[in-house]
Structure 1
Amino acid sequence: MKSSTTKATSSRLKKAAEKKSSGRSSMVDSIKAITLSGFNIDKQQLKEKITYPEYLRLAMKQAILAKDIDAQQVKRLFEVGNSGGGVVEAPLVVFINSNSGGRHGPKLKERLQALMAQEQVFDLQDVKPHEFVQYGLACLEKFAALGDNCAKETREKLRVVVAGGDGTVGWVLGCLGDLHKQGRNPVPPTAIIPLGTGNDLSRSFGWGGSFPYNWKSAMKRTLNDVTEGPTCRLDSWNISVSMPAGKELQTPYSLKMIEEVALDQELAAETELPEKVSCYQGVFYNYFSVGMDAKVAYGFHHLRNEKPYLAQGPISNKLIYSGYSCSQGWFFTPCTSAPSLRGLNNILRLHIKKVNCSTWERVPIPSSVRSVVALNLPSYGSGRHPWGNLKPDYMEKRGFVEAHADDGFLEIFGLKQGWHASLVMVELISAKHIAQASSIRFELRGGEWERAYMQIDGEPWKQPMSRDYSTYVEIKRVPFQSIMVYGDQ
């Protein structure tokens, strides 16, 4: 039985998913945002509302620059500024990826700095979110422990805004999640200014699918909404990759190499394990996929890195992405027996823990499926809903529950080929439903296939495979949830 808070969260996320459903393009979202400008919000009143005292801003900045909360400059600022009191109404900090959003990134940074103190706007090119957590927030916590009530109130009320795409949002959420592990509560709730291409996290939590045309005035309304918006919860998922050692793996920044990862002992490996393994671990919030969609994404990212002048914004990115997908055999599959054109069931085994079940179960992959996706959010591929709105009798028959971003389950579905994926994306049909799961293990074994393609939250990589040993990918829910601010745009 879900709590009232969880029900409210699920209701808001469902509303957001319906609002951003099929046929609602990013262009339409942006035009709609024109009517939601911030003309009625007084700039000076907003600044006073969201800005916290100067001595705290400077102390946090110095602590981050020195990478030391006990630096002499930080101590002096405490001695000069500590009053033991003060009122902080709704303090905010903003992380901006100034490289996102095409030409809007640098201009947006300037606008945000004009709406609040400059020290409250952190460019991710200069200050990484883990540095903010390790030194900036720790500075506030130290001041509070020394009796500074203003620092204490700022730390307790602080909210975070991320201006960037899904990858940037996930990066910040992951660093804020370290506060849970360290017992440093509360974790600041997070809101989003969409600057990416798909912006599915932003869509899912009511912050829109694209950067608004009237962004200068819209920023006032956005920042004000962040201070007043209700909070929601978001599941995060730990992913670990264990592969035979010896082959180089170029992973996205969200997947880091670690010394060792232990496979779940409740599910015994069906094949012999290698003596030496290479292990990687990370966290995702939206989806993990393996197969043709990840291959297309990998090619697109490679092309964009080689020729960045081709991708100057969300619309051009989508056009390039669509064109690239047509050249990869995603739509046109020759009638040959080439191994690279066969279904994933030739290289992939899937085990899951189902809803309300604590034991592992083998789930077959349909032979027609060329891409498998494990989805957390109600939004995928720029606001689409491939899982669909399932009827109660069908869900009961399949053992499914209603899908939400905070329900502790991933929806696993398959895409057959480009034509099938296209119909799914325009929501004329649902994807191939495979399972709902609280834990997942993918086992991949090579042969004539030398590699597979994978991605998490839009960050793809090329995964080498061995003929002799399997590669394992395990996905389990992180025990704590991220706290989001719901925007209701």
Structure 2
Amino acid sequence: VQRMVLDNQELILNRLKDIRKTSIRQMNQTRFYIVENSKSIVRVNLFVGGLPPQLSPEEYTNILKDELTIKTNVVSVSHVYQAQGAVVLEISCFSEAERIYMLVKDTTVNDKPLNVVVIPEVMASKIPQNCCPLLVFVNPKSGGLKGRDLLYSFRKLLNPHQVFELTNGGPLPGFHTFSKVPSFRVLVCGGDGTVGWVLGALEEIRHKLVCSEPSVAILPLGTGNDLGRVLRWGAGYSGEDPYSILVSVDEADDVLMDRWTILLDADEPAEGAENGIAEPEPPKIVQMNNYCGFGIDAELSLDFHHAREEEPGKFNSRFHNKGVYVKVGLQKISHTRNLHKDIKLQVDQHEVELPSIEGLIFINIPSWGSGADLWGSESDNRFEKPRIDDGLLEVVGVTGVVHMGQVQGGFRSGIRIAQGSYFRVTLLKAIPVQVDGEPWIQAPGQIIISAAGPKVHMLKKSKQKQKKIGS
């Protein structure tokens, strides 16, 4: 990176013309910014992640001394994120910052590679009161090559320091950079899993943000994109002008959405304890935004997940991914199960008798399986009309793969079972479970689903015509 200072009378356009004579690419990458005419102080901030969690600042400093041989006279730990196993280093020497940056990339601690991000200094006091900057997260692995292209496009349209690549350190470096900004919005470019990742990180760090409840917009790059559909951002990105996307985010409406906590407490002990003695598996907590499925729905997700792990290079388009879902679904058509005999359900302290089903699904948003309306639109005096901010989940059953296909084709709805705010599910045997598309086999035991913390602020694309694109 080259840094040049313009003369007081020099025109920016003339400098750009001179650079263009040498290289058009260099001209496109040139950025101009204003700095205060004051004595400069060398201060480089590096975010270092991948460290062991829940250590003290002194323990992190000792690890960095051992692994990176940091010079404590020019390097200090300015922030510690214990739960995430990350620190921010403040360095007063450019050469030492460069050395640490390069060394971290080749360093592992407890067999886990470290990651490093240069953190820009945001002068929050200089931001106008009516200004609401945009923090952009891009998952370059989502949407084939579209994620990577969007990363470059947004870095051209915005200050590059506003745009963060999620594969390098996750969402935390971005939230740390904006931690002192009084008001900002977030744009997440990725699938529903990426959105859940960012919302989970926001929940963990919101107490350290001046703007503790930023509103979140979605540019859907995944396969299902159910949350993006509900918030009117569409079924998936198909090459729209990135500038028009930024305008849509600016004009979007703020809405609230429930999030849910799922406590998984297995009764059976886990294998692999010391001396061959089995130990109880500790309770596990996961967060849910969209839906949670038990049985056939989760089994299909699990088969898809295994297929993607075997050949990840083939899963780079929504069309191929949906084709794999259809294939694994066809293989399950003739299978018969009795899920209702393997599960007990309690809703708001009341036992609920389950019908004969193969899949049980808890839905928070009115879109499931790439846009299907599982609950249905028919009026029903037994239940309230579902909303994403009503503090309620809808419980629906499906009888098998054929029923699921009919729901996704718009020919049928699921079997309405219950609606409530607190659920206890008892698993009598190990069955497949999926939360927001992430599947696994859950051992027998108790599962409790309840509302999680405050509702999150989401951005819903406005129905009004965009007015700012031509201005």
TM-score norm. by structure 1 comes to 0.68
Q: Choose which of 416, 421, 425 in structure 2 pairs with 1:433.
A: 416
Is 1:156 matched up with 2:182? yes
Is 1:445 matched up with 2:428? yes
1:389 positional shift: 0.9
Counterpart in the other structure of 1:338: none
State the distance in 1 between where 2:140 and 2:437 align: 19
State the distance in 1 between where 2:221 and 2:164 align: 15
SS in 1 for 2:201: helix
C-alpha spacing 1:305/1:431, structure 2 compared with 1 (3 Å): same
Counterpart in the other structure of 2:304: 300
1:54 positional shift: 7.9
CA contact (8 A) 1:207 1:488 kept: no
State the distance in 2 between where 1:81 and 1:101 align: 31
Counterpart in the other structure of 2:334: 332
Counterpart in the other structure of 1:384: 372
SS in 2 for 1:455: strand
CA contact (8 A) 1:291 1:453 kept: yes
Task: Kindly indicate which of the two structures has a greater share of residues assigned to helix.
Answer: 1
Larger radius of gyration: 2
SS in 2 for 1:427: coil
Aligned partner letter, 2:177: G
Counterpart in the other structure of 2:73: none
State the distance in 2 between where 1:350 and 1:230 align: 37
SS in 1 for 2:309: helix
State the distance in 1 between where 2:301 and 2:421 align: 26
Is 1:476 matched up with 2:460? no
Task: Kindly indicate which of the two structures has a greater share of residues assigned to strand.
Answer: 2
State the distance in 2 between where 1:380 and 1:52 align: 45
1:167 positional shift: 0.4
Aligned partner letter, 1:136: T
Counterpart in the other structure of 2:177: 136
| Unaligned runs of at least 5 residues, structure 2 | 1-31, 37-41, 49-75, 80-87, 95-117, 273-277, 464-471
Identity %: 30
CA contact (8 A) 1:205 1:486 kept: yes
Counterpart in the other structure of 1:231: 254
C-alpha spacing 1:247/1:240, structure 2 compared with 1 (3 Å): same
1:112 positional shift: 1.2
CA contact (8 A) 1:61 1:119 kept: no
C-alpha spacing 1:105/1:457, structure 2 compared with 1 (3 Å): same
State the distance in 1 between where 2:44 and 2:367 align: 36
Counterpart in the other structure of 1:37: none
SS in 2 for 1:122: strand
SS in 1 for 2:297: helix
State the distance in 2 between where 1:53 and 1:205 align: 37
| Unaligned runs of at least 5 residues, structure 1 | 1-50, 141-154, 250-273, 334-340, 354-359, 466-470
1:67 positional shift: 6.9
Q: RMSD across aligned C-alpha pairs, in angstroms?
A: 3.1
Counterpart in the other structure of 1:373: 361
More contact order relative to length (CA 8 Å, sep ≥ 6): 1
Counterpart in the other structure of 2:237: 211
Counterpart in the other structure of 1:281: 285
SS in 2 for 1:157: coil
Aligned partner letter, 2:438: E
CA contact (8 A) 1:288 1:455 kept: yes
1:362 positional shift: 0.4
State the distance in 2 between where 1:302 and 1:81 align: 43
State the distance in 1 between where 2:304 and 2:173 align: 31
State the distance in 1 between where 2:43 and 2:343 align: 49
Counterpart in the other structure of 1:116: 158
1:178 positional shift: 2.8
1:180 positional shift: 4.8
Aligned partner letter, 2:418: A
1:89 positional shift: 3.0
1:53 positional shift: 8.0
State the distance in 2 between where 1:156 and 1:303 align: 44
State the distance in 2 between where 1:289 and 1:52 align: 50
SS in 1 for 2:325: helix
CA contact (8 A) 1:180 1:480 kept: no
Task: Give matches, 1:334-353, under 5 Å.
Answer: 341-353=336-348
Query: In the comparison of the two structures, how many residue pairs are matched?
Result: 363
Aligned partner letter, 1:299: D
